[in-house]
A = this chain, B = another copy of it.
C-alpha cells in the first residue's frame, strides 16, 4: 500500500531559521569522516568559497585516530560523535562510508533536527527508505546529490518536478573505474593492464572488486530506482555482471558492429512494484547518448512519456564530490528548503529484462563450430541470429561473435548452454542497448 504525500504541499519545517540568528554568523558543520572526500571537503571549506556569500566553519571532524594530522583549516579532531552533535551544528556532513556507524549517526542527527548531507551510496542503497522516512517525519532535510554521478546535480531537481520525474526507463554509466578500464581496452589494452593503469592514476582502489564486479554500480542503481519509481528494491536483488571477463577483441568487435561496450546500469520502471533492472557491460549503439562518453565520465539517460534527457559529467573524485557536498549544504540551509516528500515505497521484485538483442562471444581452445552449425543449433531453440563473424584467433583460443535477435535472456541462456555442451565452447553474452531514437 502506498501512502501518497502531496508533492505540492511539503510539510512545514521546524528547521531553525539561519536568518533569524543573523546572516553574518558562521555556518557550522560537523564533519563525520576524514578520508579522501572528507579531507577535500575540509580543504574546500578552508578556501571560503565566495559564492556561498557567508562564512562556513567546520566545528569538528569525527575520526577514529585523533592523533593523526589535522586537516586544512585547523579543524579539531574528535572520536566522540555525540560531542559533535551536542555542539548543535547547522549541518552534519557524513562521509564515513559504509553502513555503521554512519546509519546510527545520521538517524541521531535527524532526530535532533539537524540537516544531513551525505555522499554515502552504500548507506542510501541499504537504508535509504529508513533515512528518508526519518528525515520526512522530523521535517529535516537529508541531501545526497553526491551519492550518484557525484559531480552532476540532477537528483534534487527531480524531487521538485513530478512530471519530469515520471521516468519509465533509465540507463547510465555510474562507475568511473569500470568505464576507464573499458575505454582503455578500446585501444587494445588487456584488462589487467587497463586495471593497473587505473590504479596508478588513482581511478581504482587497491582492491577494485566493488567497482569491477558491479557492486558500486548496483548500489547507485538502487538509489536511482527509489528516486524514479518509489520502488523498494535491495541491491542484492539486482543481477550484476562484472567486466573482468572481457577481451580487447570484444571492444574491437563492438566498434565493428557500430557501437561500444560500456559498463551500464539499466532499469525498466513499469508499474509500481514490478520492474526489471541489471548492471552489466552492454553493447551500446553508437547513437545512444551513453556511447558519447569515454574515460572516467559518468552519465544518466532518463526516458519519460514526455522526453528523453541526458545528464553527464564527472562521477567521482574527492574535489568534485566535496563541491557537490557544499552545494548540498547550501541547499539544506536555505531557509525555505523543502524536506523531500517521502513516500512509503512499494517493495518490488526485480524481474529479468524485457526481450532484447544480445551480443554473444563463443570461445574455444580447440576449434569452434562453423557459422552454419552454430546458427542451426541456436535456431533449433528458436534463437535467431543477425550476424555471425568469422573465427578470429585470440591468445590461447579462438573467438567468434554473433548477434542474437530479440529474445528473453532465459531462452538465450538455455540455447547457449546446449551450444556449450554440444560444441565444447564457452559463451559470454552482453545485452544490447539500442539507439533510443530508432
Which residues of A approach B to under 8 Å, CB–CB? 4-13, 18-19, 23, 27, 49, 51-54, 151-154, 156-158, 160-166, 289, 292, 295, 299, 306-314, 319-320, 323-324, 326-327, 330-331, 333-339, 437
Contact = CB atoms under 8 A, between A and B. Distances in A.
A187 to B, nearest CB: 15
- This chain: copies in complex: 2
A4 B23 CA distance: 12
A310 B307 contact: no
Nearest to A52: B162
A180 to B, nearest CB: 13
B338 A161 contact: no
A300 B334 CA distance: 27
B163 A326 contact: yes
18 contacts: A6-B53, A8-B23, A8-B27, A8-B52, A12-B335, A12-B336, A151-B307, A151-B309, A152-B307, A156-B160, A157-B157, A161-B327, A162-B330, A163-B323, A164-B323, A289-B312, A306-B319, A307-B313
Contacts of A307: 151-152, 313-314, 320, 323
B13 A336 contact: yes
A153 B164 contact: yes
Contacts of A326: 163
A151 to B, nearest CB: 4
A153 B162 contact: no
Contact of A10 (B152, B164, B314, B334): B334
The 3 A-B pairs with the shortest beta carbon distances in the complex, nearest first, are A292-B292, A51-B162, A161-B327
Contacts of A152: 307, 309
A25 to B, nearest CB: 10
A292 B292 CA distance: 6
Given A10-B336, A309-B313, A160 B323 contact: no
A323 B167 CA distance: 13
A54 B313 contact: no
A252 to B, nearest CB: 19
Given A156-B157, A161-B153, A327-B161, A10 B310 contact: no
Contacts of A165: 51
Contacts of A311: 309-311
A386 to B, nearest CB: 25
A429 to B, nearest CB: 27
Q: Which of A152, A306, A335 gathers most chain B CB within 10 Å?
A: A306
A60 B213 CA distance: 57
Nearest to A326: B163
A153 B304 CA distance: 13
Contacts of A323: 163-164, 306-307
Given A151-B306, A306-B319, A336-B339, 16 more contacts: A4-B53, A7-B330, A9-B19, A9-B23, A9-B334, A53-B162, A151-B309, A153-B157, A153-B158, A157-B157, A160-B327, A163-B326, A164-B327, A307-B314, A310-B310, A336-B336
Contact of A292 (B6, B12, B289): B289
Given A9-B334, A53-B8, A164-B327, A310 B313 contact: yes
A28 to B, nearest CB: 13
A19 B9 CA distance: 6
A7 B54 CA distance: 9
Q: Which of A49, A299, A335, A437 gathers most chain B CB within 10 Å?
A: A335
B164 A335 contact: no
A295 B438 CA distance: 13
Given A289-B312, A310-B313, A334-B338, A51 B9 contact: no
A165 B5 CA distance: 31
A17 to B, nearest CB: 8
Contact of A154 (B8, B157, B308): B157
Contacts of A52: 7-8, 162-163
Given A307-B313, A307-B314, A309-B151, A51 B163 contact: yes
A320 B334 contact: no
A433 to B, nearest CB: 15
